[in-house]
Structure 1
Amino acid sequence: MTTRIRRTCAVNLTATALPLLSICIFASAATPAPPAGQPNIVLIVADDLGWGVVGYNGSFVRTPNIDRLASQGVQLTHFYVSPMCSPTRVGLMTGRYPMRLGLGRSVIRPWSPYGLPPELQILPELLTTAGYRHRGVFGKWHLGHLRPAWHPLSQGFTTFHGQYNGAADYWTRIREGEMDWHKDAEPLKEKGYTTELIADAACEFVKRHAAGGPFFCYVPFTAPHDPFQAPDKYLAAYPSTAPANDNAVSRDRRTLAAMVTCLDDAIGRILQTLHDSGVADKTLVWFFSDNGGVIRLRFNGPLRRGKLTVYEGGVRVPCAIWWPGVIEGCRKIDVPSINLDVMPTLLRLAGKTVPSGLDGVDISELLTSQVASPPRRDLYFFTGHLGLQREQIAIRSADGWKLVVTGPDIRESQGFRTPEHQVELFRISEDPYEHDDLAAKHPDVVEELGGKLIAFRNSEPSGAMPPAVEPPAGFKPPRYWRNQPETRRSAREK
């Protein structure tokens, strides 16, 4: 694979547009000091934001602030995630494939009694020991909510303002008949549109702790995940997409465009608050989406398919990082990376030794132009949200191949070699849109990569979370989705 780091400034912006497998092969020994002191960290995650919806990838949707991050900082043009919400967040917080934690098959649904294993030390807990006293999460948690041990305040965060589940109404925050909106552990009745409320809370956190940094501000927005709802002022900005015949797809495309521009404005407010608080130059901002966009709305192009698939449109997403003076320069980095890399990279930049046993790798030297490429590695993708008979699993190999297998669980005796399995092989380094299936021409590559997929699928522990698409009989959510965090959080910080 040829590594390319390109310097481009195609977007014209103004300053005001604001048992462990072989997959676990990278470990860090002694960690040198961060390149420019400990940065404040603002980690922004969009929800269901497809590759083709942002302005800097050629969209008609107006995203000047996201474009600014890409233009002033660094774009990771081959940045990968899981094909759906919760697994991506699991990997982000742990640096591990969610498969290995039993959380890779599906999202954590409102009625699912599952969450992050409390014995794991996740990103905010590790940042605690690096001197990050203030660690806030603002937006969608989606990592477990029915037990105290899964609450954000039990997992290393010092403040939480947002919702436990996804897909709540943007004006009422209602999910399954109960309001899901909280300040720390208490339900909070608050008027307004969710995207703007999340930005309000994040900006207030920045202002409150700018003088006492470094801080960690995690902002997992709910937008533009459905339900498709947007303020009127943003809908008015896209009259040309309003359908003459009120077609549902066109109507939802218009609303999603409005939601994305509202999201972009919210990101712009966070950037402006960093500037006004005097800490913009001391802050690393990392932006990406948790998975591709909904297929029917066609915002993933030119990539194939979208959310809930392991094709490129489902797992390759927009990603930009900016730390003025350190990670900048209007560069495009084509080296494949993955959300699992966020945790070790941020720990390294915070001056913290990266734990062993992670699947993600530290790419900080790639971001800061100290190396041209990290060691080559395979990347894995999986979804089992439709059950054991309709799984999708894929590998992007270190040497530029991608094998996609769809069908029954490949841990069975015949693996992927049954009439029920669809097996596709792409030379992804040369065919990024997955047009040409080369499986019949390269059976040796299929066998080699298929064996790796079977090994990866076998990394799932017993008792893994099932898809559970429908709620169990008689399920009723807690009043206001109330969940009290465990008091052991304070002990961890001492």
Structure 2
Amino acid sequence: MAAHSLLFRLFTLAIACMSMLSQNYIDAQTPNIVVIMADDLGWNSVGWHTSDVSTPNLDQLCRDGVEFDNFYVSPMCSPTRAGFMTGRYPIRFGLARAVIPPWRDYGLPITETTIANVLADAGYERRGIFGKWHLGHARKKWLPNNRGFTDFLGCYNGAIDYFTHEREGELDWHHNDHPAHQNGYATTLIGQAASQFIADSATQDVPFFCYIPFNAPHSPFQASDADLKRYPAIKDRKKRTYYAMISVMDDEVGRILQTIDDNGIRDDTVVWFFSDNGGVGGIRDSNRPLRGSKLTAYEGGVRAAACVRYPKQFPGGRKLTEQTMFIDVLPTVMNLAGADPQSLPNELDGVNLTALLSGDEDRLPPRDLFFYHGQQGESAEPIAVISGNWKLVVNGPRITGSITDSHRVELFHISTDPNETQNVTANHPEKVTELFEKLREFRSLQPTESIPPYKFGNQDFRAPPKWKIERD
């Protein structure tokens, strides 16, 4: 009996040791994931593109990591966030046409699997979001804690007041699903909360996911007097405030990066940074030399300042010119976390960039990149496709058949004319026809039940008290 007891104890001890070794192996090989997203940050609004604005922490992140020279996003906020979350073009599930305004009873469909869901299944026990959600707020099922996140601090809507944290006259600042009363500038509070989450997670010696969607430098354009003094030479008040807001965000990026270093997890942490779209048209030079701005399908609206750092696997100090997209983040993170894309219920549109970022490959397979929104309605929809060296941009009514006189059609040889200065449609009519057909097929993906245009349903809207959501 004693021999059997001893054998049983030895067997259970061996199993426990194997389990511990397996867990240590998983922890040693699985990186922490930190994704930082700016809001309305222009191409020409980071220090590695201009000396006009000071972003030393982002600049250092870019130098230490891999700079994306052709990283593309949607022309506006909610669609980019939805595509990042799912690895899929948001037009597939009705969230490409417009952002989600305060009065909209609409959200990222629960049939879509989020990056937080994926990482939960991969063993990431701590999954935090700190900042702006903007993917549905009218029902509990759309809120961050019901979409795979364990921790949330921030706002449901966009465009909150940076000091009072209000939208539509009501407090829109929440800790998980409860209103939170905090004093301070929103950008600073976001950085502080994210840093605390990272520090707490690091002590538990398990991989974590931290998503930090700053609301800066989106309007309202607000900054403290002290921060405005950083740019005394700029006389334009709006531009001066915009730069000050960017600098405060950069301060918080520095805080986050320092927290990662202080906790000894730099080599084991992926830090991915990008903007959700280009800068707004009202800020002069924010996207220079690119044409256009937010809400356009030109490069200034959809080509974002971006970089990624992962010292353990991605050799730093490089600039990638390959065309990459916001929908590529999820499949790349899945690969790094050891998750199987085949386990997802929906097929991904993005591609895994790990080999490219690791330096094992220098090219991606050919693919087309698409851009679209219909925020103002079907009478005026910007839509575009990049296919190899070419880009076709169409502005006008919804594409349903062939090109009409109401469409403004522009073809650019984007590899040699990245600033879209020469419309060459007359010289390449066959290419226009080919790419227009691709746009027509892409536009047809939008389901009937999709988010309405922006202003639809805003009459007599009143925000719920403290944006406390009661409906399931």
Identity %: 50
Look up the match of 1:254.
Answer: 240
Native 8 Å contact 2:99 2:454 kept in 1: no
Look up the match of 1:161.
Answer: 153
Counterparts of 1:53 and 1:474, CA distance in 2: 37
Native 8 Å contact 1:87 1:106 kept in 2: yes
- Give CA deviations for 1:319-377 in whole Å, capped at 9, x if unaligned: 01001232232100000000000000011011111246111110111001111112110
Look up the match of 1:473.
Answer: 459
- Give CA deviations for 1:170-194 in whole Å, capped at 9, x if unaligned: 0001101111000001001100000
- Deviation of 1:143 (Å): 0.2
Label 1:364 to 1:485 Cα distance change in 2 as closer, same or farther (>3 A): farther
Label 1:111 to 1:100 Cα distance change in 2 as closer, same or farther (>3 A): same
Matched, 1:410 2:403: no
C-alpha RMSD of matched pairs (Å): 1.5
Native 8 Å contact 2:376 2:454 kept in 1: no
Moved more, 233-242 or 314-323: 233-242
Given residue 160 of structure 1, which amino acid in structure 2 is its aligned partner? Answer: F
Look up the match of 1:333.
Answer: 320
Native 8 Å contact 1:150 1:485 kept in 2: no
Look up the match of 1:319.
Answer: 306
Aligned residues, how many? 443
- The match for 1:379 among 366, 369, 372 is 369
Given residue 358 of structure 1, which amino acid in structure 2 is its aligned partner? Answer: L
Unmatched tracts of structure 1, length 5 or more: 1-32, 243-249, 487-494
Given residue 332 of structure 2, which amino acid in structure 1 is its aligned partner? Answer: T
Matched, 1:306 2:300: no
Label 1:132 to 1:203 Cα distance change in 2 as closer, same or farther (>3 A): same
Native 8 Å contact 1:402 1:427 kept in 2: yes
- Give the SS at the match of 1:264: helix
- The match for 2:66 among 63, 70, 74 is 74
Counterparts of 1:66 and 1:117, CA distance in 2: 33
Look up the match of 1:129.
Answer: 121
- Give the SS at the match of 1:145: coil
Unmatched tracts of structure 2, length 5 or more: 1-24
Matched, 1:115 2:107: yes
Look up the match of 1:247.
Answer: none
Look up the match of 1:16.
Answer: none
Look up the match of 2:253.
Answer: 267
Counterparts of 1:170 and 1:400, CA distance in 2: 41
Counterparts of 1:61 and 1:471, CA distance in 2: 39
- Deviation of 1:34 (Å): 9.6
- Deviation of 1:296 (Å): 2.1
Look up the match of 1:278.
Answer: 264
- Deviation of 1:234 (Å): 1.4
- Give the SS at the match of 1:114: coil
Look up the match of 1:435.
Answer: 421
Look up the match of 1:296.
Answer: 282
Q: List aligned pairs for 1:28-427, cutoff 5 A.
A: 37-212=29-204, 213-242=206-235, 250-298=236-284, 299-355=286-342, 357-397=347-387, 399-411=388-400, 414-415=401-402, 417-427=403-413
Look up the match of 1:446.
Answer: 432
- Give the SS at the match of 1:200: helix
State TM-score, norm by structure 1: 0.88
Native 8 Å contact 1:228 1:255 kept in 2: yes
Label 1:342 to 1:178 Cα distance change in 2 as closer, same or farther (>3 A): same
- Give the SS at the match of 1:381: strand
- Deviation of 1:232 (Å): 2.0
- Give CA deviations for 1:230-270 in whole Å, capped at 9, x if unaligned: 1222111100002xxxxxxx210000111101100000000
Counterparts of 2:53 and 2:308, CA distance in 1: 21
* Structure of greater Rg: 2
Native 8 Å contact 1:303 1:433 kept in 2: yes
Native 8 Å contact 1:105 1:383 kept in 2: yes
- Deviation of 1:310 (Å): 0.3
Given residue 160 of structure 2, which amino acid in structure 1 is its aligned partner? Answer: A
- Deviation of 1:394 (Å): 0.2
Label 1:306 to 1:219 Cα distance change in 2 as closer, same or farther (>3 A): same
- Deviation of 1:472 (Å): 3.1
Moved more, 75-84 or 470-479: 470-479
